[in-house]
Amino acid sequence: MITDGHADFRTLLMHHVTTHWSDAIITAYDPTTAGHLPEEFSGAGNDIILLGDQQGDRDGIKTLRQFLRRETMPPVFYFGKDKETQETAEKFGADAFFWRDDISHDALVVRMTEVLRDRKRIASTGSLFVGDNRTGIHPLVKGYRHIKRLAINEHSAVYLAEKESADIRVVLKVMRQVPDLTDGIGEFDRFLQEYEMIAELEHPNIVQIYDLGVSDDHAHIAMEYLSGGDLRQRITAGIAEPDAVRYLQEIASALAEIHEVGILHRDLKPGNIMLRADDSIALIDFGLAKRMRLKQEITGSGQIFGTPYYMSPEQGHANDVDARSDIYSLGVIFYEMLTGEKLYTASNAMGIIVKHRHAPIPVLPKRFAQYQELVNRMLAKQPENRLQRADEVSEWL
């Protein structure tokens, strides 16, 4: 969670985080428009809170003290402007202090990594999730044989498992409900929304959902196990032109399907595009998706999602997005599949965002010249100049 009264500073911190953790989910909270968080705010559902000193009409140190009075509060990093503030923040127990106007990316990432590692170690000893040396999943998740744990944090875990009744391998995501006293939708509810969105769809290029289970304080989703790895690995190894074109068509077809039912992906990137054993594409990870019909007040104030390399210009500047933003991200991925290179690079995340807005669209190598017009239409800076629907990709091909 990032909370500060200046939008540019919230965006800068977001890009520091997503440059290193491309899958991070960030809630950017503006206390000047949304009001100060209530005294009962517990920080539940967050791994780290990045607290800026610009808290509207309130001293940032007062907010820091409010946060740190709660024993359940996750680690809090404070961003200030002077030595006296640093000493005060450290005295009250801030887990780290950084100079607001001179943030060292490496120092921030190193300290966050240390904190996340400590939290993961603590979580791994909890009673909710099994370790790799156990033979089952949590007792409430019946009917699945544990193979290995893939990931874990304080509130959720991901396993490779086997569905006993069907003798098939699945990816099992398990989440514990933790009270969320903010006004927005918490991680647990977002987890259930993810299932509901994907369960509505039956498409060969969207991951298949087998099962949902909900108890008083847990939920689990069993989904298709995709053994072919992700598109990021394929790009690194090199993709032949016919395969790149086929992958493009399959991804566009999946996007057309989700857009048709009112869902934006908003975090389309090679790591969220998986392959099956037969080399077909499956779009995954709708945890960052958002139904276009959901209102701002339902999803929370000021949330910013995504990965800088693949963000549309409007998303990178925290403007409203629609289906054309996903089309832009797909254009970036197509360029990378053909060339093996990122569309834009820079020394920091903000530099990449600026290039998405202002830099010219790169020219493809001559051997791919027949795709240049399509790339230009997908990567147009203004949404109205892009392809307007994902199914237009196949028409252009």
- 260 Cβ contact partners less than 8 Å away, ≥ 6 residues apart: none
- 67 Cβ contact partners less than 8 Å away, ≥ 6 residues apart: 41, 43, 49, 51, 73, 76
- The answer to whether residues 303 and 190 touch, using CB atoms and an 8 Å cutoff, is no
**Residue tagged active-site, from 30, 47, 267, 326:** 267
Q: Burial of 372 by CB count in 10 Å (0-12 exposed, 13-18 middle, 19+ buried)? A: middle
Cα–Cα nearest to 269, from 287, 283, 290: 283
Residue 267 is among the residues annotated as catalytic for this protein:
yes
CB count within 10 Å of CB 58 equals 14
Cα 113 to Cα 42, 84, 90, 244, 318: the distances in Å are: 22, 26, 19, 35, 26
Residue type at position 372:
Q
Name the helix (H) or strand (E) containing 314. Answer: helix 313-316
Cα–Cα nearest to 261, from 239, 291, 285: 291
Cα 210 to Cα 163, 187, 213, 223: the distances in Å are: 10, 21, 10, 5
Distance of CA 76 to the CA centre of its chain: 21
- The answer to whether residues 181 and 41 touch, using CB atoms and an 8 Å cutoff, is yes
- Pull the structure tokens for residue 165: 């009744």
Query: What sign does the CA torsion over 139, 143, 148, 152 have?
Result: negative
| CA 342 – CA 367 distance, rounded (Å) | 18
DSSP readout, 107-131? HHHHHHHHHHHHHHHHHTTSSSS--
7-20 vs 105-123: helix axis angle to the nearest 10?
Answer: 70
DSSP readout, 250-282? HHHHHHHHHHHTTEE-----GGGEEE-TTS-EE
- The catalytic residues are 267
